[in-house]
Amino acid sequence: MKKIIFLLMMTMSFLITVGVQSGIAQKIPLALAGQLIKDDEGVREKKMPAKDVADQMNDVRKVDLNGDGVPEYIFSGIVCGNANCQTWIYRQNGNKYVRIPFEAYAVGIEIGKTSTKGYLDIIVEGHSSAAETELHVYKFDGRGYDIKECFSKKFAKVNSKTGRVTKLKTPITTKIKCGS
């Protein structure tokens, strides 16, 4: 258990916060933006042209999740500020893009070093409060990604007697029940 928590802490220290990228910002292809508009009601409701959708995606990554030589696209929300952003995964199939089932809202995403059923695991970090985030480990089940492990990462502690908040020098990560 301690080894898992240590590995997660090390992995999470390299999280890329949504919207903050090193190097040149990537965009999703226009055809993928068009497919997202067709697939997602929330995106469709914004009534934005595909070019604007492509321009407003955050944390766009091309990652070969299944080792087939064709990268999948992982990207997050349309202008969600400091909130958890909806995140999608698409794979290219010829000239079309197909959504891989994945339900996540994130402030950060990390591609794991381990894989399940031929696809790399994905670690998602999301705000649960101003002083705490949750880490969800998603694993591929043969069709899409599901949450399999959850952790709490606390950045501060509150004195129950005085109510005083103290920032922690090192965040405390503990395993929790998923959905708690």
**Structural domain of 26:** 2-176
Is it the case that residue 2 has pLDDT exceeding 70? no
* pLDDT value of position 137: 97
Q: Tell me what pLDDT residue 143 has.
A: 95
In the predicted model, is pLDDT for residue 14 greater than 50? no
* Block residue for tokens 């197909």: 98
What are the pLDDT digits (tens) for 49-102?
999 999 888 788 899 999 999 999 999 877 676 678 889 999 999 889 999 999
**Structure-token pair, residue 88:** 């999608």
Any residues with CB less than 8 A from the CB of 132 and at least 6 apart, and which?
Answer: 152, 153, 154, 155, 156
- Side by side, the strands of the sheet bearing 132-140 are 16-17, 108-116, 119-129, 132-140, 145-158, 165-176
28-53: per-residue pLDDT in tens? 999 999 999 999 998 899 899 999 99
Number of independent structural domains in the chain: 1
Average pLDDT over residues 3-31: 51
CA 71 to CA 78: how far, in whole Å?
Answer: 22
